[in-house]
Copies of this chain bind each other. A is one copy, B any other.
Amino acid sequence: MTGLPMVVPEAGLPERVTIYEVGPRDGLQNEQALVPTEVKASFVRQLLAAGLPIVEATSFVHPKWVPQLADAAELMTGLSADLGDRARELPVLVPNDRGLDRALDLGLRHIAVFASATETFAAKNLNRTLDSQFAMFEPTVARALAAGLDVRGYVSMCFGDPWEGPVPVEQVVTVGKRLLDLGCQQLSLGDTIGVATAGHVKALIAGFGRAGVGVDRLALHFHDTYGQALTNVHAGLQAGVTTYDASAGGLGGCPYARSATGNLATEDLVWFLTGLGIEHGVDLQAVVDASTGMAAHLGRPSPSAVVRALAQSPA
């Protein structure tokens, strides 16, 4: 067997998908052992070389909250020295005005902000209410847009919340619409604890459609906690969504979720899309090499089925 599936398209799916790689930021942010900046830079470069069109590189959050990403400016400076304008196109998470100042100082062009779809997670993660969280983003997003930057809006806990249980579709749509109204170009709808199933995904996309938000404004961000991430992508594809977040090697996970299983692995997504004949532009083996290197650095194997299968020698 080669390392790729047979290609058999399914009728009605998009011809092309954009994979939004979040491994260096979302994947690493909860790692306790500090990863050296040069290892992170090498990881980002490998992911770009593998053909991933978008690699979210780091977060300009306060080091007190995410010590792992305290080297954000150093990382981006180093990448800019190597990659020039290509580095300045890499998106970074920016939680507030101070983070934006740092991104602007470095000449970065794409930022992302982070909202919660639930009251409890807004309180725990942002120390705000569901309503008052927007006051935190508003000036940041406005200044970023005025400076000509693109802004992505993450929405977390879009399907279930560990404290509140199932999250109503209309509540998620309300939060997402407010981010779009602030000027975000794209929403990333996150299943932070991995409880979404396929019908729920379609229902959420339909809810946004009823509110006038088309699939071209939506990205989907699934966690594989209950093994559902790829079926949720399948549902998203059938509903017409063409941007999917994934993390090389399945790095990452939510500290509030019940399991260590984290983000959808980029490799599992690439395998799936390849089998369906959907263009993605990514070299699977190159992503496996990148994530395997990072896994070796972190000292534990990837949870990705594709990585485990391809890492073994043929029968």
A interface, CB within 8 angstroms of B:
1-2, 5-6, 8-10, 159-160, 162, 165-166, 193-200, 202-203, 224-228, 230-231, 233-235, 255-261, 265, 268, 271-272, 274-277, 304-306, 308-310, 312-315
Contact = CB atoms under 8 A, between A and B. Distances in A.
A179 to B, nearest CB: 23
Contacts of A203: 8
A258 to B, nearest CB: 5
Contacts of A165: 1-2, 6
Main secondary structure of the interface of A (DSSP, over half): loop
B198 A5 contact: no
A162 B258 contact: no
Question: How many chain copies does the complex carry?
Answer: 2
A314 B259 contact: no
7 contacts: A5-B160, A5-B196, A8-B200, A9-B199, A194-B309, A197-B276, A198-B272
A199 B276 contact: yes
B315 A226 contact: no
A198 B203 CA distance: 21
Contact of A304 (B166, B227, B234, B309): B227
Contact of A271 (B10, B227, B261): B227
Contact of A312 (B230, B258, B304, B308): B258
Contacts of A315: 162, 255-258
Contacts of A198: 10, 234, 272, 275-276
